Amino acid sequence: MLKVYGHLGNPSDNTAPTDILELPYDHRKRGRIKAETARGLAVGLFLERGKCLQDGDLLEAESGEVIQIVAAKEELIVAKANDPLQFAKICYHLGNRHVPLQIGDFWIRFQPDHVLEELCRYYHLEVSKEQAPFQPESGAYGAHSSHQHSHVHSY
């Protein structure tokens, strides 16, 4: 089994992957998983917890092999809005639910949830199902490993 401890980030011109690991969103957000690469190799991920792997990220196995992450297609709900206010309202209400959301130009994707689907219909959005890679927003602090204050208090 390939053991992966290193996260190289996004591809650079100098780093070519030797294999591909296709994962759905729920597996990409876990730091510890066992999976199988496109070439059929067993791989164990032992990565820093709290970070979500993104489509295109590169991982380095302890053997030196480089594995590229591919976001797998999965069943998602897509809701399409007709105007900016309608879109802003649904983003606000879905955001208050603290669920992962992928946001595009007047559309929003989320994992299947009948309550959220009904909320979208309530706001008159066009709701459908589709198979697509799920790449939700990382959130306000998604790019940071922890929230740190850098200001000094004076009393």
pLDDT 10s digits, 78-92:
999 999 999 999 999
Tokens describing residue 61: 């196995």
**Interhelix angle for 114-122 vs 84-95, to 10°?**
150
Class of domain 2-71: mainly beta
Do 2-71 and 73-133 come out as alike in CATH topology? Answer: no
Band (93; pLDDT cuts 50, 70, 90): very high
- Is the domain defined by 73-133 classed in CATH 3.30.70.790? yes
* Domain boundaries, given as residue ranges, for the chain: 2-71, 73-133
- For the entire predicted model, the pTM comes to 0.81
